[in-house]
Each structure stands twice: as structure tokens, then as C-alpha cells.
């Protein structure tokens, strides 16, 4: 029997995305999650098929949010471990088929496909099926192990444009704004999220920077004689862009908003950017930020605050486009609301691929909150306000070799072999040591050797593995203290 499907497009297109009660949002998310899991599992995303099978989850009986905990969160290392995912990153991309679209689509897509046939015959119907089943736009996220592809179908790009329109509204932009996008072009969410913000809102935009590098040249070539009302720049350049624009002769007198893209800004950066703007002839311009998980699907924005206001109210998410969780970086288990932790995302309704519960490695310092935004009144979940990217990546020199140790990945590897554990990085001058403390399930020495080899493959071969008693380990956790006592870093 065909499972009952949820008409998500109808709800998502209504104008009410940001004012529903948390209970309504959860109900809708649950239906969307059920459908997304079904599409990914039965609609041919090989990685998800294998992962659900391994976890014993039958997508046909998956109930939604109440079953979310049955799906294990995914780390980059899960994708690139040849033992557990022989196909590698390719397995994250939809292997779509016409049959898959017809069997596992929500009503809105089925209706569209049927209408296409009525209106335009087989050829037009084929295009409608393709829009739902063929990946045609890809972002690439390089990192440890390899590059993660994030694929969009044509329908997915429409969702990205919808998210873009919302981002513009949250940031306080309108259709008659004129955007100068200085985020370097490339296969990244940061660039295309801003591109689709302009597209979704229908504002004019110049995407002026073909590559990273000289900001001044991009500014000089852009908007000769034009006056942008909004600038989007990588967050790292937020302090320099106004003076560079003034130097390039750009008229900033009509500028209303400077958007820092990629992360949150510190209070100092906000104040510094405002000072720069004032000096460059744009004293009224506001400063905002946009951020999204690099392997995610959409950019979120901060709601606009008055000039001179140092606080921000976090990144406003779209509850019908992704399910956002904050997890413990040690265990991958959800943490309570408004508690710091790692941002994990499950895109809802996107069909191009990906994995549910993707662990971003990004730290939300204030966690996630469902409380009504005191600034704009929106009821959507907000993350942040401060977000730190790659927060558990540590440059270390182990056994004479420089490497980048991901504490979450190493911790997950250790946790597969032990009941209790701690990773300790000891920094002695330029050289570092990595100790792994373990309370093992068995006395079997092979298990410890397996663990050593697994860490070695991650370029995190430990200096020493120390078998401990539960009491010894508890004492070490107390000594380390802090929010995540299984990750201990100290200077020797």
C-alpha cells in the first residue's frame, strides 16, 4: 500500500511561514520529515538507503519527529570511511528515476507532472519529471577525507529561491533594493545563497566577483556610477569593504544594509563595520549577517536591528525547509534548548540528495530557541546568536606531522570501541601529544589495536591509549571540566 503523503508545497507557499505556533511548526515538520525520509530512502539516495538499513529503520513505517532519534546523525567521516560506505561521496547524490518520482512524490509534484502532460504532452511531462529527479546544480564542500557534493534538482532550486526571498525579508531588504554581491563566485552555498536571495526576492543584483582575491578590483569594476543599497561580503571582509568601496570611488550614500556572509559577527566587528560605514558616507546603513551550514541547503539571516544596536537575535531558520537540531559534539545526542552545541540540519523537501541529521561541526554558542523573537516577532526557531564554524577542528603536530584533528570525528571513533572515554591533547611547545583514555567493554586487546588503526587512518594516531577504570575516567572528566569534558586540551 502507498504511504500517505503530505502536501508540503501548499503549506510552504502560504505567507505564514514565520508566524505559526511552535506546536503547528512541529506538526508540519513531522509530516515533512516523514516524507523526506521516504523520498531519500526509496527515491534512491544510496547513502541514506544504507544508513537507514543499518539502523533498522523502515522508511515506510517511519512516523516523523517521534522517530527522529532512530536515525543516527551523520559525520563527514561516515561518508568517507570505505568500510562503511564503499561508494564514497557519490552516494550522497540522488540517483533519480522517473519511476521514483511517480511512486514517492508528494501530491503537489504528482499534480504538476500530470498537468504537464495534459498541457504539453509527453515532452513537457518529461521535463516536469526531470525537474524533480535530476540533480543539476551542485555545491562542493572540501575537507577531511574528500569533497562533499550538495546536489539540487530544479525543484530544489525553487526552494532555495523561496528561502532566499525569506532571507531578504528577515534582513529587511525589499524588491526595489539594489544588491552588490561581493561573495566570490564558486560552488558554495555562501555565493549561491545570496544569488538566490536576489532572485527569490526579485531585486536587481550585480554578482561582481568572479573569484576570491582583490576586493578593490571587484568594486572598481562594479556599479560604475551606480549606487547600491545593499552590499553582501564574506564576513572576514566586513571591516574593510566600506573603506575599499570609498577608495574605489563608489557612492555609498544610498546604502541601507551591509550583509556579512558566512558566520555571525562579534560585537566589536559590528561596531567597527558601522564606524567604517559612517566614515565612507553611509552613516544610516545597518549591519546584518547571513549564515548556513556549508553542506546544508539554505542561508539563514539575522533580523535587522537599528543602527548602533550591538545585539543580534540569532539566525532565523525556515521550519518548513529544514529541521535544525543542536547536538552534543561528544555524543551526537540532542542538548536542551538554549544550550551550546553543534548545529545539525535535516533539509526538508529537498530531493537532490544529502543525509538527514548532518553534523555541521559548527558551534551555536546560545544553542537553539523556539521563543518568539523579541525584535521582529517571528516564531521560527533561531540559532546562535553567535555561530563559530569548524569549532572542533584543532591544528596539531602529532608524531612530527602537521594535521587537523577533528575532535568530534576522533571521539565518535573512540566511542564505537569503548563505554567511556576522553581525548586529551597536550601541547608542549611546537609538538603535541594525543592521549586516549578508555573504559572498554571487553579485555580483548584486538579492539584496542583496531581503534589505534582507525585513528591512524584519520591521521590522529594517538601517542598512547590508556585503559582506565570508570572511577579514573570520571576523575579525569572532573579535572577537564567545561561543557565537553571528554575533549581535554592543555599545555604540558
Residues lying near Zn ion in the complex (CB under 5 A): 303, 313, 373, 375-376
Rounded least distance, CB 373 to Zn ion, Å: 3
Burial letters for 46-65: b for 16+ Cβ neighbours within 10 Å, e otherwise? bbbbbbbeeeebebeebebe
For 234-266, where are the alpha helices, taking DSSP H only? 241-247
Of 97, 136, 110, 98, the C-alpha closest to 35 is 110
Of 225, 226, 261, the C-alpha closest to 241 is 261
Rounded least distance, CB 457 to Zn ion, Å: 44
Rounded least distance, CB 301 to Zn ion, Å: 9
Is there a cis peptide before residue 385, judged by omega within 30 degrees of 0? yes
Which CB atom, from 374 or from 395, has the smaller least distance to Zn ion?
A: 374
Which CB atom, from 154 or from 316, has the smaller least distance to Zn ion?
A: 316
Rounded least distance, CB 377 to Zn ion, Å: 7
Cell match 566577483: residue?
Answer: 209
Which CB atom, from 135 or from 312, has the smaller least distance to Zn ion?
A: 312
Assign residue 186 a region (left: φ > 0; alpha: ψ between -120 and 50; beta: otherwise): left
**Pairing mode, strands 401-406 and 382-383:** unpaired
- Taking CB atoms within 8 Å and a gap of at least 24, the contacts of 486-489 are 486/330, 486/411, 486/421, 486/422, 486/423, 487/329, 487/330, 487/392, 487/407, 487/411, 487/422, 487/423, 488/422, 488/423, 488/424, 488/425, 489/394, 489/424, 489/425, 489/427
Rounded least distance, CB 261 to Zn ion, Å: 18
Which CB atom, from 314 or from 349, has the smaller least distance to Zn ion?
A: 314
Which CB atom, from 174 or from 456, has the smaller least distance to Zn ion?
A: 174
Rounded least distance, CB 193 to Zn ion, Å: 19
Asked if 329 contacts 224 with a C-beta cutoff of 8 angstroms, the reply is: no
Which CB atom, from 193 or from 314, has the smaller least distance to Zn ion?
A: 314
Rounded least distance, CB 60 to Zn ion, Å: 39
**Read out DSSP for 88-134?**
GGGGGB----HHHHHHH--HHHHHHHHHHHHHHHHHHHHHHHHHHH-
Which CB atom, from 148 or from 305, has the smaller least distance to Zn ion?
A: 305
Rounded least distance, CB 257 to Zn ion, Å: 15
- Taking CB atoms within 8 Å and a gap of at least 24, the contacts of 206-214 are 206/179, 206/180, 206/181, 207/181, 208/180, 208/181, 208/182, 209/181, 209/182, 209/183, 209/184, 209/185, 210/184, 210/185, 211/184, 211/185, 211/186, 212/184, 212/186, 213/184
Angle value at C-alpha 223, between 221 and 224, nearest 5 degrees: 75
Rounded least distance, CB 376 to Zn ion, Å: 3
Rounded least distance, CB 161 to Zn ion, Å: 22
Which CB atom, from 322 or from 409, has the smaller least distance to Zn ion?
A: 322
Which CB atom, from 313 or from 392, has the smaller least distance to Zn ion?
A: 313
Which CB atom, from 376 or from 465, has the smaller least distance to Zn ion?
A: 376
Q: What is the rounded distance in angstroms from the CA atom of residue 278 to the CA atom of residue 242?
A: 9
Rounded least distance, CB 303 to Zn ion, Å: 3
Alpha carbon distance, N-terminus to C-terminus of the chain: 63
Which CB atom, from 258 or from 405, has the smaller least distance to Zn ion?
A: 258
Rounded least distance, CB 405 to Zn ion, Å: 36
Which CB atom, from 363 or from 376, has the smaller least distance to Zn ion?
A: 376
**Read out DSSP for 44-65?**
T-HHHHHHHHHHT--GGG--SG
Amino acid at each position: 500500500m502507498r504511504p500517505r503523503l503530505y502536501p508540503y508545497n501548499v503549506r510552504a507557499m502560504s505567507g505564514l511561514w514565520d508566524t505559526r505556533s511552535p506546536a503547528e511548526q512541529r506538526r508540519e515538520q513531522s509530516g515533512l520529515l516523514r516524507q523526506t525520509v521516504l523520498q531519500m530512502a526509496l527515491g534512491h539516495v544510496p547513502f541514506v538507503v544504507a544508513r537507514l538499513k543499518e539502523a533498522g529503520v523502515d522508511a515506510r513505517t517511519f512516523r516523523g519527529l517521534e522517530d527522529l532519534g532512530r536515525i543516527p546523525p551523520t559525520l563527514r567521516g561516515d561518508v568517507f570511511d570505505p568500510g562503511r560506505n564503499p561508494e564514497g561521496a557519490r552516494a550522497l547524490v540522488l540517483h533519480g528515476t522517473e519511476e521514483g518520482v511517480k511512486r514517492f512524490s508528494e501530491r503537489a509534484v504528482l499534480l504538476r507532472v500530470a498537468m504537464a502532460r495534459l498541457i504539453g504532452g509527453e515532452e513537457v511531462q518529461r521535463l516536469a519529471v526531470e525537474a524533480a529527479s535530476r540533480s543539476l546544480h551542485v555545491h562542493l564542500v572540501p575537507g577531511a577525507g574528500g569533497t562533499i557534493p550538495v546536489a539540487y534538482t530544479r525543484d530544489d532550486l525553487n526552494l532555495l529561491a523561496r528561502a532566499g526571498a525569506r532571507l531578504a525579508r528577515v534582513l529587511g531588504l525589499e524588491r526595489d533594493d539594489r544588491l552588490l554581491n561581493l561573495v566570490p563566485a564558486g560552488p558554495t552555498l555562501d555565493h549561491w545563497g545570496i544569488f538566490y536571495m536576489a532572485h527569490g526576492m526579485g531585486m536587481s543584483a550585480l554578482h561582481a566577483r568572479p573569484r576570491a582575491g582583490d576586493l578593490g578590483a571587484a568594486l572598481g569594476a562594479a556599479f560604475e556610477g551606480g549606487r547600491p543599497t545593499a552590499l553582501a561580503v564574506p564576513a572576514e571582509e566586513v571591516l574593510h569593504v566600506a573603506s575599499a568601496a570609498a577608495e574605489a570611488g563608489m557612492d555609498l550614500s544610498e546604502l541601507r544594509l551591509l550583509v556579512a556572509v558566512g558566520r555571525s559577527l562579534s560585537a566589536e566587528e559590528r561596531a567597527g563595520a558601522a564606524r567604517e560605514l559612517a566614515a565612507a558616507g553611509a552613516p544610516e546603513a545597518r549591519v546584518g549577517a547571513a549564515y548556513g551550514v556549508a553542506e546544508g541547503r539554505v542561508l539563514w539571516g539575522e533580523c535587522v536591528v537599528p543602527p548602533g544596536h550591538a545585539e543580534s537575535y540569532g539566525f532565523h531558520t525556515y521550519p518548513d525547509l529544514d529541521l535544525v537540531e543542536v547536538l552534543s559534539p561528544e555524543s551526537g545526542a540532542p542538548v536542551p534548548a538554549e544550550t551550546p552545541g553543534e548545529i545539525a540540519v535535516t533539509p526538508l523537501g529537498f530531493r537532490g540528495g544529502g543525509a538527514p541529521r548532518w553534523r555541521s561541526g559548527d558551534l551555536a554558542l546560545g544553542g537553539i530557541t523556539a521563543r518568539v523573537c523579541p525584535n521582529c516577532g517571528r516564531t521560527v526557531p533561531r540559532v546562535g546568536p553567535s555561530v563559530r564554524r569548524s569549532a572542533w577542528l584543532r591544528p596539531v603536530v602529532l608524531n612530527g606531522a602537521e594535521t587537523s584533528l577533528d575532535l568530534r570525528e576522533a571521539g565518535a571513533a573512540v566511542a564505537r570501541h569503548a563505554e567511556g572515554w576522553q581525548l586529551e591533547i597536550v601541547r608542549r611547545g611546537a609538538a603535541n601529544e594525543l592521549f586516549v583514555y578508555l573504559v572498554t567493554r571487553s579485555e580483548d586487546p584486538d579492539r584496542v589495536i583496531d581503534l589505534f588503526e582507525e585513528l591512524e587512518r584519520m591521521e590522529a594516531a594517538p601517542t598512547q591509549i590508556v585503559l582506565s577504570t570508570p572511577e579514573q575516567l570520571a576523575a579525569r572528566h572532573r579535572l577537564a571540566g567545561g561543557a565537553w569534558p571528554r575533549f581535554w586540551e592543555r599545555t604540558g
